[in-house]
Amino acid sequence: MKIGTVSLASPLVVAPMAGMTDTAFRRLVKRHGGCGLVVTEMVSSEGLVRGIDRTLEYAEYTEEERPVSIQIFGGDPEKMAAAAQVVESMGADIVDVNMGCPVPKIAKHNAGCSLMREPAHAATVIAAMTKAVKIPVTVKMRAGWNDGDRNAPTLARMAQDAGAAAIAVHGRTAEQSYSGAADWDLVARIARDLTIPVFGSGDCIEPEQIIERMRTGVPGVLVGRGVLRNPWILAQAADLAAGRAPRTVTLEDRGQFLLEYIELLLNERIDEARAVSHDRWVVNKLRALGSWYTKGLENGSHLRTAINSAESLQKVRDTIATFFTAEGAISAV
Ligand SMILES: Cc1cc2nc3c(=O)[nH]c(=O)nc-3n(C[C@H](O)[C@H](O)[C@H](O)COP(=O)(O)O)c2cc1C
């Protein structure tokens, strides 16, 4: 699989998730295998162009994550082109445009999914970016703004014509937010219609679902919440694709992942102005991941509550270490 000139070892991707897919998390997922591309959390085009510290921090990545795509949001063609140049100068492999975010704070600025309501303008944004940089420009969109306007097939075609090197489609409308189910038939239809690679996104919780989606003719899959619940899901899907049984993940493996995440976060450069302390910031990060990671886990709600009420980072570590030993899991029953 290739996106423009960038080769992906696997068509399985960690979907961008604001607040969640930081460089530490992406590195750990990548180390477990099966992952062909990682995408940063969305970053503001305005912030990139103005060199705002916090924006640059969100766009940070490490060499071991390559190939890396930096996702930007905004609605002004010139600013988006300038931001794409910043992304290119940061050494990223791909720049991705967010046309899927339904959050009013983003959408009301003519960015995110509201760009889908103005396809001609959206195409101008993409064309300005592809002209400004040599790295591939990709677009992530939803099925449309609402049920009356499911225009992803049209916009995807326009994006391709404007020079986009790949498209990702989350098969829900902005109005749906996360309700209902992602429409993978729509994704497959778009994939059939375009010559560039099309990635689908939505509701892959089990590795088998990823393989089933690809069998419908969708060349690649972005997995979001499924990776937060099970960071091994891409590796397990790759096992299935290779005709092997999906690897087993033990309770200890799951605990180890969280402990390693803590260590990587502690080594991260953070904007001290927005955190009471580095430890506190790490605790908050663990709480955010914990709310997803504990889903579907036996006694997961116990762990979630324990992490949320732990008053120090050491307490979070102890809670994890205890829970993820066989004895800890049994005593939580
Ligand atoms: C917490 C969270 C944050 C997200 N942030 C972004 C984002 O920054 N950019 C984006 O394009 N999509 C974002 N998404 C959407 C996901 O990339 C993905 O398309 C969507 O969650 C559906 O896939 P899933 O069912 O595998 O999670 C976010 C989703 C979640 C749950």
The span from the CA of 163 to the CA of 4, in Å, is 10
N residues, the chain: 333
Task: Determine the pLDDT at residue 95.
Answer: 98
Q: Dig out the tokens for 189 from the structure.
A: 């239809």
Ligand 1 contact via 72 beta carbon (within 6 Å): no
CA of 332 to the centre of ligand 1 (A): 31
Q: Give the position, in ligand 1's atom list, of the atom nearest the Cα of 168.
A: 19
Helix ranges, the chain (H): 23-32, 45-50, 53-58, 77-89, 104-107, 119-132, 152-161, 184-193, 207-215, 225-229, 233-241, 251-266, 278-293, 300-309, 313-323, 326-331
Ligand 1 contact via 223 beta carbon (within 6 Å): yes
Ligand 1 contact via 40 beta carbon (within 6 Å): no
Ligand 1 contact via 55 beta carbon (within 6 Å): no
Q: Give the position, in ligand 1's atom list, of the atom nearest the Cα of 226.
A: 26
Ligand 1 contact via 41 beta carbon (within 6 Å): yes
255, 320 Cβ separation under 8 angstroms: yes
Q: Dig out the tokens for 203 from the structure.
A: 């509701």
333 falls in which pLDDT band (50, 70, 90)?
A: very low
Q: Dig out the tokens for 182 from the structure.
A: 């992602």
CA of 237 to the centre of ligand 1 (A): 19
Whole-model pTM? Answer: 0.95
155 falls in which pLDDT band (50, 70, 90)?
A: very high
Residues 269-279 have a mean pLDDT of 74
Residue 320 is classified by DSSP as H
Mean pLDDT value across the chain: 94
pLDDT at residue 329 tops 80: no
Enzyme catalytic residues = 101
Q: Dig out the tokens for 308 from the structure.
A: 């949320």
Which amino acid residue places its CA nearest to atom 14 of ligand 1? 17
Q: CB within 8 A of 64, min separation 6: which ones? A: 27, 30, 31
Ligand 1 contact via 20 beta carbon (within 6 Å): yes
The span from the CA of 328 to the CA of 247, in Å, is 23
Task: Determine the pLDDT at residue 327.
Answer: 55
219, 11 Cβ separation under 8 angstroms: yes
Q: Give the position, in ligand 1's atom list, of the atom nearest the Cα of 15.
A: 17
First to last CA, the chain: 45
Position 59: which residue type?
Answer: A
Q: Which of 13, 14, 17 to mutate to test the pocket of ligand 1 (most atoms within 8 A of CB)?
A: 17
